Amino acid sequence: MTQQQTGGDVRLTGISKTYGSFAAVKPLDLTVPQGSFFALLGASGCGKTTTLRMIAGLEEATTGTVSLGGRDITGLPPYKRPVNTVFQSYALFPHLDITENVAFGLRRRGIKSVRKQVDEMLELVQLGDFAKRKPHQLSGGQQQRVAVARALINHPQVLLLDEPLGALDLKLRRQMQLELKRIQTEVGITFIHVTHDQEEAMTMADTVAVMNGGRVEQLGAPADLYENPRTTFVANFLGTSNLIEGEVVSAGTEIVVAAGGGKLRLPTDRCTAPTTNGGKLLLGVRPEKISLAHADDADAIADGRNRVTGRIVDSSFIGVSTQYVVESPAGKALHVYEQNVERRAGLVVGAEVVLHWNPAHTFGLDAAQDIDAGVETVEDAA
């Protein structure tokens, strides 16, 4: 990480926001370490943007405090906070050219010679040739970079990004994700990034906080969240999970669960829910961890693997992989992603198959939750 002149952690303590009787953000505690790329991930209306706006000072917190490097900034107006925001709509000033847009923050703080800094900043976002243009003469991606430059030139202790890539098309979005990541590494400022795009959050951030219904559901490194979701919401919202309901048969170092007419096992340390014999439990496994075998070849499956029988109801060829949907007594629609290494002739729609996977790849969740929480119903909610 680059050397930092000033800085410190962002610490939210018991912060909440209510509008009338509606609680947009329920009291939450959150610490964002200095210099990290932190993502607040959630569906629209989960309170992530409100949380960001409370850090910026654009929204007054109903309860709780915001502190920055140990200094309480809860009562400070936005123009006195050492944080800057990149807005979703960019909010570039339409009456000013790019130079003046970028110089705005410096000028307001009484800095007279802005030329050199503005040029450097436009160079950083690769827009040196556009200094004299007006915002409306730039493309969406260029406007987005101007918005980043306009915020970064002030050397804020924290840069807040509110769905900054939401308005861009997919290809440009991928490109800007890498760009933002590059800039963050280069300047070493804490970035807090709000997004509803789980892939975006996982690609860019060191730490992701998954928000749902005004609360933080789970917080951790992307890989940790993906492998060890603690709630059904996280399991379904981050990628796809196969969740199978079963009944606990025995629990030791390994939990054995009866589900779909067979027995499935998982390591005890991968189960976050309390287990009692005879109690219900949700078993989860990611689609890419599952292997498919035709029912005729079932004998060839190694011992000690979890098995579920079923019938293929749908298969789609994606290129690198083929995605199967399997109907089984254990679950209505189990997803399986198979790498396209070899052509698998027998695996067609209607074929009887056996799904098998390493028990170590199974995680356990509390069965008292909604099994479909966080499932994206609309294709590409962006």
Contact positions toward other proteins, by CB under 8 A? 56-58, 77-80, 83-85, 87, 89, 91-95, 97, 104-105, 108-109, 132-134, 137, 150-151, 154
- Cβ distance to other proteins smaller for residue 78 or 213: 78
Per 3-state DSSP, what percentage of the chain is helix, strand, and coil (rounded to 5)? 25, 35, 40
CA-only gyration radius of the chain, Å: 25
Give the nearer residue to other proteins in terms of CB position, either 135 or 229: 135
Look up residue 209 and give its DSSP letter.
E
Smallest gap from residue 129 Cβ to other proteins (A): 13
**Per DSSP, what are the bridge partners of residue 266?**
255
**Which of residues 104 and 337 has its CB atom nearest to other proteins in the complex?**
104
Which strand (E) or helix (H) includes residue 172? Answer: helix 170-187
Minimum CB separation from other proteins for residue 19, in Å?
12
Name beta bridge partners: 209: 40, 219
Taking the complex as a whole, how short is the minimal distance between the CB of residue 175 and other proteins, in angstroms? 24
Task: Give the nearest distance from C-beta 37 to other proteins in angstroms.
Answer: 20
Q: Which is nearer to other proteins, 2 or 137 (CB)?
A: 137
We find the least distance from the C-beta atom of residue 197 to other proteins, in angstroms, to be 21
Contact 45, 93 (CB under 8 A): no
**Residue given tokens 């966080």 in the structure block:** 374
Q: How far is the CB of 147 from other proteins (least distance, A)?
A: 8
The least CB distance from residue 277 to other proteins, in Å, is 56
- Residue 58 or residue 373: which is nearer to other proteins going by CB? 58
Q: Which is nearer to other proteins, 17 or 335 (CB)?
A: 17
Least distance between other proteins and beta carbon 211 (Å): 22
Instruction: Record the tokens describing residue 96, joined without a space.
Output: 């000013």
- E strands present in the chain: 10-19, 22-32, 37-41, 63-68, 71-72, 83-86, 158-162, 190-195, 207-212, 215-220, 242-251, 254-259, 262-267, 280-285, 291-294, 306-317, 321-328, 331-339, 352-357, 363-366
Question: Of 28 and 83, which CB lies nearer to other proteins in the complex structure?
Answer: 83
Angle among Cα 11, 13, 18 to the nearest 5 degrees reads 120
Nearer to other proteins, 85 or 212 (CB): 85
Count CA atoms closer than 13 A to 279's CA, side-chain side.
15
